[in-house]
Structure 1
Amino acid sequence: MPSRKRAKRSYSRRFLLLSVLIVLAILAYTGGWFYAANLLETRTVALMDKLNLHQRRASCEEPNARGYPFRIGLFCRSVFYEDGENGISLSAGAFRSAAQVYEPLRTVGELDGPARISIPFLPPLEANWEEMRMSARLTTTDLPQRLSSETRKLVLTLEEPENGGVATAEVFQAHTRRNGADVDVALIVKRLALDPAIAGDAAVPPLDGEMLITVTDGVELIEQRNPSLRGRSGRVGNLVLKTSDENASITLQGPVEIDPDGLINAELSVTVTEPQTVARLIADALPEQRDQIEGVIAGLSGLGKAPTLPVNIRQGRVFIGFLPIARIPPVQ
């Protein structure tokens, strides 16, 4: 009988000890989570202060870490960025991010619209969307390893005149990644439709597009205080523009350089799929140049259903073979 009582007391002590250890572990985890949350908020404020220099302003309104107990993320009531020196500004609604506590450098986020965008040489724009999701692979340095975003039901309008249409897109994706010292950039758009007022009442069908470019020494470019593309080089890995409802497409590939004066030099190959359809669509969009367009495409049609031709750009002048067809103004 006494042995049973001793066994029961021993079991009770072990149970009590286990309970105490569990409570201590929860308290330690909770303390660690709130310490990390406070660190996240503090570093966010420090980053905003770092960005608010040299005619730049950045804001994460009321930064607040949330997600306890299993996640941790930053919430802002609104976000804002302005680069007065380069004439760039962006403001948007609430921002929410989250990461698993065991993998804090891999984070996902959402951004609410509308966003107001101002960039040089274009009127102020307003962007709205049904859903915008983002993901990032962070590092211990300021520059992430990867950044991605996907926007659905995107609508672009002009702020003045009020509600002036620009374009809509079913899906718009943007991806960047560090590739050693270089930076890869990929853009994808589905069913891009231009507003008739922007297209000049031209018959432009819905378009799909893909672009993959590599910017040589792109990490250094991003880290510069006043980044400029002049004196830079890269490669267009793939640039595709096609009709959403037909097989007609134009694909472009090749190396590109920009000289110190901002003039583009490139050796590109351009593949035209279904050239007759491409000719019809371009002629419908640019009726005043119908005869010239149909003449060029007629020559390509004899080369098959997907002819490829070289396109060279020399100091901003565009050549097909030896024939100059356009001039590209200097870039910044």
Structure 2
Amino acid sequence: RRISLQAEGLSGQTDPADDTDPVQLFSAGQAAGQLQPNGQDLVYTGSFGDLKIDAEAVGGRVLPELDGAGEATVKNGVGLIKAPPKSLRGQSVDIASLDVSSGTARVTVSGPISIDADGLIDANLSIKLKDPKAVAAILAGAIPEHKSEIEQGFAGIAMLGNQPSMPLKIVKGKASLGFIPLGKIKPVD
């Protein structure tokens, strides 16, 4: 009926395959999660605190410690547990809320995401920011090669206030934030 997990000092690494050394992915001071069926769907509710993502796991990028919480419904999730898919294609998730923060910077995402048979993503998300300048500083530090574009873009977003909201749409892999095209996302496996 329900599975609940709680952990302190949680960490993750890659599976050492083919005699390669495992790569540290992350560590979290605390994490909790719960899975509960809703008909054939599966509802996940969870949170984490003091999450540190290892720079090696994200191409040498440096991210601050993160806290987060969220709730999402995996469509046909009960069936997916019984017979785990070999691909993400044909799967869909409805994010009630996914909230990630560091200091005063906070990003909240909600809305449906699906992946079609060709691996193309479709999503109709709402993105809410708290303290856009702080979010921009984190992103600029993590992606220094796009620092100027990030700062310019978030300067415009900051003009919408300290807690702006905007739509992020992805149609057949083509992403746009409001009316601003962001580019194409490669098909997923």
Aligned to 2:49: 190
Per the TM alignment, residue 220 of structure 1 is displaced from its structure 2 partner at its CA by 3.0
Q: Where do residues 206-225 of structure 1 align in structure 2 (5 Å cutoff)? A: 206-224=65-83
Aligned to 1:287: 144
Per the TM alignment, residue 209 of structure 1 is displaced from its structure 2 partner at its CA by 1.9
Instruction: Return the index of the structure with the highest Cα Rg.
Output: 1
Give, in whole Å, the separation in 2 of the partners of 1:252 and 1:146: 25
8 A Cα contact 1:221 1:227, kept in partner: no
8 A Cα contact 2:31 2:48, kept in partner: yes
Per the TM alignment, residue 201 of structure 1 is displaced from its structure 2 partner at its CA by 4.5
8 A Cα contact 1:262 1:330, kept in partner: yes
Indicate which of 155, 175, 198 corresponds to 2:11. 155
Q: 1:222 to 1:198 in 2, by over 3 A?
A: closer
Give, in whole Å, the separation in 2 of the partners of 1:155 and 1:219: 26
Give the AA of the match of 1:241. V
Aligned to 1:168: 27
Per the TM alignment, residue 182 of structure 1 is displaced from its structure 2 partner at its CA by 1.5
Q: 1:203 to 1:228 in 2, by over 3 A?
A: closer
**Root-mean-square deviation over aligned CA pairs:** 2.2
Are 1:264 and 2:85 an aligned pair? no
Are 1:296 and 2:132 an aligned pair? no
Which has the larger share of strand? 2
Q: Where do residues 50-129 of structure 1 align in structure 2 (5 Å cutoff)? A: none
Give, in whole Å, the separation in 2 of the partners of 1:177 and 1:299: 41
Q: 1:327 to 1:175 in 2, by over 3 A?
A: farther
What secondary structure sits across from 1:220 in the alignment? helix
Per the TM alignment, residue 164 of structure 1 is displaced from its structure 2 partner at its CA by 4.5
Per the TM alignment, residue 197 of structure 1 is displaced from its structure 2 partner at its CA by 3.1
8 A Cα contact 1:221 1:228, kept in partner: no
Q: 1:172 to 1:294 in 2, by over 3 A?
A: same
The number of equivalent residue pairs is 186
Q: 1:156 to 1:235 in 2, by over 3 A?
A: closer
Give, in whole Å, the separation in 2 of the partners of 1:224 and 1:167: 28
8 A Cα contact 1:310 1:321, kept in partner: yes
Give CA-to-partner distance per residue, 1:131-165, whole Å, 9 cap, x none.
Answer: xxxxxxxxxxxxxx111111211233454664653
Give, in whole Å, the separation in 2 of the partners of 1:230 and 1:287: 32
Per the TM alignment, residue 294 of structure 1 is displaced from its structure 2 partner at its CA by 0.5
Give CA-to-partner distance per residue, 1:286-309, whole Å, 9 cap, x none.
Answer: 111110000110011111111000
Per the TM alignment, residue 320 of structure 1 is displaced from its structure 2 partner at its CA by 1.0
Please list every run of 5 or more consecutive structure 2 residues that lacks an aligned counterpart in the other structure: none
Give the AA of the match of 2:6. E
Give CA-to-partner distance per residue, 1:298-324, whole Å, 9 cap, x none.
Answer: 011111111000110011221112322
Q: 1:261 to 1:301 in 2, by over 3 A?
A: same
Per the TM alignment, residue 259 of structure 1 is displaced from its structure 2 partner at its CA by 1.7
Are 1:331 and 2:151 an aligned pair? no
Give the AA of the match of 1:237. A
TM-score (norm 2): 0.86
Give the AA of the match of 2:132. P
Q: 1:198 to 1:215 in 2, by over 3 A?
A: closer
Aligned to 2:134: 277
Give, in whole Å, the separation in 1 of the partners of 2:9 and 2:64: 17
What secondary structure sits across from 1:282 in the alignment? helix
What secondary structure sits across from 2:134 in the alignment? helix
What secondary structure sits across from 2:68 in the alignment? strand
Give the AA of the match of 1:154. L
TM-score (norm 1): 0.51
Per the TM alignment, residue 256 of structure 1 is displaced from its structure 2 partner at its CA by 2.1
8 A Cα contact 1:184 1:215, kept in partner: yes
Give the AA of the match of 2:117. P
